[in-house]
Structure formats: structure tokens, C-alpha cells
Amino acid sequence: MTEMLASYAAGAWYTAPDEGTVVVDAATGDPVARVSATGLDTREMVDHARRVGGPGLRRLTFQARAAALKELATHLDANKAAYHELSLATGATRRDSTGDIDGGIGTTFVFSSRGRRELPDGFLLADGDVEPIGKEGTFVGQHVYTSLRGVVLQVNAFNFPVWGMLEKLAPAVLAGVPTIVKPATQTAHLTAAVMRDIIASGALPEGAVQFLCGSAGDVLDHLGGEDVVAFTGSATTAAALRGNDAVTARAARFNAETDSLNCSILGPDATVGTPEFDLYIKEVSREITTKAGQRCTCIRRAMVPESLVDDVISGIRARLDKVVVGNPRNETVTMGALVSLHQRDEVRDAVAALGRAAETVYGDPMWVEPVDADPERGAFMAPVVLLATGDRPEPHEIEAFGPVTTLIPYGAGADLGALAARGGGSLVGSIVSYDPDFVREAVAGAAPYHGRLLILDRDSAAESTGHGTPMPQLVHGGPGRAGGGEELGGIRGVLHYMQRTALQGTPDVLTAVTGRWVRGARQRDPQVHPFRIPFGALVIGDSFNSQEREVTLADIERFAALSGDHFYAHMDEVAARRNPLFGGRVAHGYFLIAAAAGLFVEPEFGPVLANYGIDALRFLKPVKPGDRIRVRISCKEKSLRAGAGYGEV
């Protein structure tokens, strides 16, 4: 019998005793795996995450968690050839799988490096600057983030079995919160293979990740206010889960990424012959054929100026004529199968429903001749392009989650923001135009209804990552119909799994709590120059007060000669008097910075390696010839770079 996929629960692999659901190969119909979670103790899984996984992760600093992610990503990267083989059974071509598998591993690497660069070597993250509250400076405020004490339950969609797991797991690991992964049944065999390697790698502490392979069962019954449900899938399932007591009564955090009627707007300037017209044709055609259109970010509504509709249809037709549908194991195939016959039938039904408001201008949802495959056993479908024929709501409401898009003509002076908004909120939209005025207006109208907007033109085309690809550096999610959630976005993605708390107290207290020196807190004179103190021995608040130095006219003139900066405010007394800010010659700001270094640097070889730069440098007060300056430096924050042998002060 076909292999039953195991779950990983409370430190052990568990195989359900029943027959389970048989998952079949999307292209051949052959059985691939069986899936069942019958008998799995989900309460024990949640307990294990809270008792073992969470504390294990939180014994590591942010820096150590980032290092663990790098180890994990490196391990998965070495094994990815096997995932690519398994991915073929989901109907995906090798190119499709790259976005899922390499994209997922790449996202893990990105979170590792963002963590190493941006998070402290500690357990608590200060958010923003200190807020002065009391007039005397003895009472200040500071926002901080700490790890939630619960568990992240991921419930994932079938279309990204690897990326969908890793894009949520990586930020949760950085945040110090354990995860239970519940994959979609239809593609669980691929997620399971990656999960086996995650566990085998030993990169993460025990309990940091568990695998619930099969029905979610009653797992939500065990979740509460310290937990997060990170859902990706259909709006219908999201609504059901959002209504669970875990969310409505016990206030578990609920993040949903759901379906989305994403639009792509062609600008009126982008006529035939312009690079933007060609880019649009390429982007729309690629979007509906990548993963056979089964991407939540796929272009479902192609908004085109009325005058360009015929040209766009011809352009898309010419490109889609080259698409080869069939078994993704055949090298000539450029579009594989949908994930299942059930999914194909749902898409056909959706196309039929869209037919009430649109005519088919390319493809036939009921007919396809797949290469190297039996059309009765594989879930194949030809790309279909529809043209909206009136002003009905269907194209803005019905998501055909397959290789389908609807062209929506718009007239001169149309309110494109309002047109985009008819989708009820989307993950992503794109605007393809080389006219900055058009782009500005389209962005202003459409942005409130989108999580991400791609503006594509001839200048960005070569480097553009495309309409449909979420980037780990940028937020992914969208308002309304798209689920109202948000993921990714660099370190923002980590904060979704942490609690923000406003702390109030004295500067000394906040310095002690955050490990970051706060203005007004006690300073310490270490009796030796701070440049002579090794990283480990330097204490937050260690300070140095320099000698004074008088700034002279000769300094200013020598600095002007050396730097070439002869700005009148430094060099011309008469002109400088006319300047309302200075009322006479002043020293160069950059001279003051250079002179400051001369006052505080301790020149001999020692623990200091380099000057990393200056954040938030401002010149607040003019310094005139005859004024005296001095420098006070305090050690504000220290962060050791994991594995680097040095850190930043």
C-alpha cells in the first residue's frame, strides 16, 4: 500500500493506523501517499510546544536563532534535488517548483541574515526611541518586544508546500516561538519530506517545530491568547477558523492570507510597440501559466484601456499559443497540471460562472491535449482568457484558481482606484506604464486596497521580480477579501509573533531592562579609555569625557582647503551675515565631526576595529570661531555577531 505520511508530535514520529486519504499524482493519477492524523494527540502537541519548544528557542538569543536558521537553510539547500523530484507529483514544472522550493529556502536565508544584521544578541527587542515624558528626564517610556509564550499554528494552502511553511517558520524561529505545521493534504508529501530533513538536521531545538499531517482536528480548541493561527487558503476556510472560540473568545492572534482578485493595470500610454505593452503581455501570460495559475497572487483581472483590448488579446494569444501543457516530467512541457481533478473541476465551474459576465477569447476550459499524459487521469486544463462584456460583478468576485484571467476594458477618465477596489481588497496589483502622472494617480487610488503594488516599466523590467512573487523583504498580505493579514516584510514579519509592551520608568531602569543605554541614565567612568576595554568587558553606560578644543578661523580655512568645501557660510563673512541661521562665519559640520574624533580617539592598537558609521547625525547649533567644543561618548548598546568573533558597539 502507498506510504502513510507520519506526523511529528511531542518529539516522536506518529503514523496513523487507518487508511487515510490517498493523494494521487496530479499528472498521472497514480497514488503518491496517504494522509491521516487519526489518533494524533493535538493537546499534547500544543503542550509540548509550550513546555519544551518555546523555552528551548528562548534560551537562544536572537543572534543564535539567526545562526540556527542559517544552518537549517544550508541543510535543506543541500537536499533540495529530492524535493524537486517529489514536487513533480503536485503537477508543478521544474520552473514552478523553483519558486516554492528554492524560494522557501532563500526566504529562510534572508531571515537569517536580516536577523544577524538587525537583531540584538539578547532576548528583548527595543522598538524605536525612548519617549521623554517627565520634564526633568527622570520618567521616560520605551516600547519593547518579547516572544509570545504560545505556539504558532500554521495552516497552509496546497500550492506552496515548501515556501508556505518556511516563510512562516523562519520569522517564528527568530521571534522565539515554536510552530506546528499543518500542510494541505493534497501536497503534504512534499512538505513531509522537507519536515523530515528539518528534524534530522538538528538545527532547531526539540519542540521548535512539529508536524500535524492530516486533518487539523481539534487543535484550535487548545489555543488561546499567547498563540497565533497563521492561515493561508480559501476565504471560506478562513471565515470558519476565524469564528473559532480560540480566536473570538480567547483572543488567539489570527492572520489570514486568502484568495484575491488581483489586478494588473495597463496604462493608456503603453500602446503597441512600447516596451511596456510587451512587458504587460509577457507578465499576464506568465502569471496565468506559472503553477497553472494556482498562485494566490496571480493576475485575475487584467485592466486594459478600451482602445488596446484587441491588441492585448492578439499579444496574449501569440504567447499562449506557445504554451505546452502536459506531464511536467516531459522537458518540453511549460505548463503542468492543476493539483487535482477536483481542483480542475472547481476551476471549470468558476469559468462557467464568469461566463455570465464575460466571453471566452482564448482557450477552452473543457478541452486540452496534454503531452505525455492521459487527460482523463491528469488534472490538465488549457489557459483561458475571458473578456468582460459588461459591468457585472462576477469578474471582481469569482476567483478561478487556475490558468484563467479576465480582461476588463476601461474607458478614458475611468476611476481606476474604484475599479481595483471592486475586488474587495487584494494581495498585489501591478501598474504597467511609463507615464509618471498616470502611475501617481493609479497608485493613489489603488494602494489602499492592496498589500503590494508593482510598478513595471522599461527601466525596472530587467531587475523586476514580477507581479506574483512575494519578497521576504516586503510585506505579503492584503486587506479585505485578501484576508486582512500581513506576513514577511523583513523584521516586521518577526514582530507578528511577539508582544509589544510600553515600559515606563527611570532612564536607569530602562537601561537595565533593555540593555540599551538611555539618555539620562547613570554613566560610569571606567578609569581607562573605552577604546582599551575589550568587547566583553565594556559595560553599557561606560563613558568618556574629552578635553576641550577651541575652534579657530584657521581651522575653518584649513578644513575648506583640505576638503574643497568653500560654502559661503564658512568662508565669506559678509555673505554669512546675511544668512538668518548663522549671522556670521561658522565651522563646517564635518569639521566638527572630524575634530570630535581627534578628541575621543585613542590611537594605539587595541580592541577597536573600525568606525561603523553614524546614525541620525544632526547639526543643531552653529559653532563659530572662538567657540570651544568637547565630546562625551557613552557605550549605548553592544551586539556580538554570532560566529564572527566581533560585535558592534
- Grid cell 497540471 — which residue? 337
> Under DSSP, is residue 282 helix (H, G, I), strand (E, B) or coil?
helix
Amino acid letter, 314: S
- Is 16 a binder of ligand NAP (CB under 6 A)? no
- Is 232 a binder of ligand NAP (CB under 6 A)? yes
- Is 469 a binder of ligand NAP (CB under 6 A)? no
Instruction: Please select the residue that binds ligand NAP; options are 25, 227, 259, 486, rule is CB under 6 A.
Output: 259
Taking contact as CB under 6 A, which single stretch among the options 63-71, 150-158, 459-467, 535-543 is the one that binds ligand NAP? 150-158
- Is 234 a binder of ligand NAP (CB under 6 A)? yes
Instruction: Please select the residue that binds ligand NAP; options are 52, 153, 157, 494, rule is CB under 6 A.
Output: 157
CA distance 153 to 409: 42
Instruction: Please select the residue that binds ligand NAP; options are 22, 200, 239, 240, rule is CB under 6 A.
Output: 240
Closest approach of Cβ 360 to ligand NAP, in Å?
22
Give the nearest residue (CB) to ligand NAP: 233
Binding mask 272-311 for ligand NAP (x = CB under 6 A): ------------------------x---------------
Closest approach of Cβ 192 to ligand NAP, in Å?
13
What is the Cβ-side half-sphere exposure of residue 131, based on CA atoms within 13 angstroms? Answer: 12
Ramachandran region, residue 94 (left: φ > 0; alpha: ψ -120 to 50; beta: rest): alpha
Q: Which residue lies nearer to ligand NAP by CB, 237 or 274?
A: 237
Catalytic residues: 257, 296
* Residue 319, C-alpha cell as written in the block: 504567447
Instruction: Please select the residue that binds ligand NAP; options are 28, 42, 112, 156, rule is CB under 6 A.
Output: 156
Instruction: Please select the residue that binds ligand NAP; options are 6, 124, 216, 640, rule is CB under 6 A.
Output: 216
Q: Which residue lies nearer to ligand NAP by CB, 293 or 305?
A: 293
CA distance 301 to 35: 35
Taking contact as CB under 6 A, which single stretch among the options 55-63, 155-163, 603-611, 621-629 is the one that binds ligand NAP? 155-163
CA distance 102 to 261: 26
Q: Which residue lies nearer to ligand NAP by CB, 159 or 290?
A: 159
- Is 126 a binder of ligand NAP (CB under 6 A)? no
SS3 content of the chain, % helix, strand, coil (to 5): 35, 20, 45
- Is 100 a binder of ligand NAP (CB under 6 A)? no
Q: Which residue lies nearer to ligand NAP by CB, 122 or 217?
A: 217
- Is 486 a binder of ligand NAP (CB under 6 A)? no
Q: Which residue lies nearer to ligand NAP by CB, 87 or 186?
A: 186
- Is 61 a binder of ligand NAP (CB under 6 A)? no
Contact 502, 256 (CB under 8 A): no
- Is 402 a binder of ligand NAP (CB under 6 A)? no
- Is 158 a binder of ligand NAP (CB under 6 A)? yes
Query: Residues, the chain, total?
Result: 649
Closest approach of Cβ 595 to ligand NAP, in Å?
54
Instruction: Please select the residue that binds ligand NAP; options are 381, 427, 540, 631, rule is CB under 6 A.
Output: 427
CA distance 139 to 520: 10
CA distances to 295, 348, 351, 371, 374 from 365, rounded to whole Å, are 18, 6, 7, 17, 16
Q: Which residue lies nearer to ligand NAP by CB, 254 or 401?
A: 401
Q: How far is CA 394 from the centre of its chain?
A: 31
CA distance 215 to 183: 9
> Under DSSP, is residue 13 helix (H, G, I), strand (E, B) or coil?
strand
CA distance 186 to 159: 9
Taking contact as CB under 6 A, which single stretch among the options 255-263, 439-447, 461-469, 598-606 is the one that binds ligand NAP? 255-263
* Residue 302, C-alpha cell as written in the block: 487584467
- Is 92 a binder of ligand NAP (CB under 6 A)? no
Binding mask 371-400 for ligand NAP (x = CB under 6 A): ----------------------------x-
Q: Which residues contact 85 (CB under 8 A, 6 or more apart)?
A: none
- Is 230 a binder of ligand NAP (CB under 6 A)? no
CA distances to 16, 393, 443, 464, 473 from 449, rounded to whole Å, are 44, 17, 10, 22, 20
- Is 237 a binder of ligand NAP (CB under 6 A)? yes
Of residues 519, 317, 292, 523, the one with CA closest to residue 407: 317
Taking contact as CB under 6 A, which single stretch among the options 236-244, 354-362, 363-371, 433-441 is the one that binds ligand NAP? 236-244
329 φ, ψ (degrees, to nearest 5): -75, -20
Segment holding 556, helix H or strand E: helix 553-563
* Residue 348, C-alpha cell as written in the block: 471549470
CA distance 321 to 482: 31
* Residues of this chain that bind ligand NAP (CB under 6 A): 155-159, 182, 184-186, 215-216, 232-234, 237, 240-241, 257-259, 296, 399, 401, 427, 483
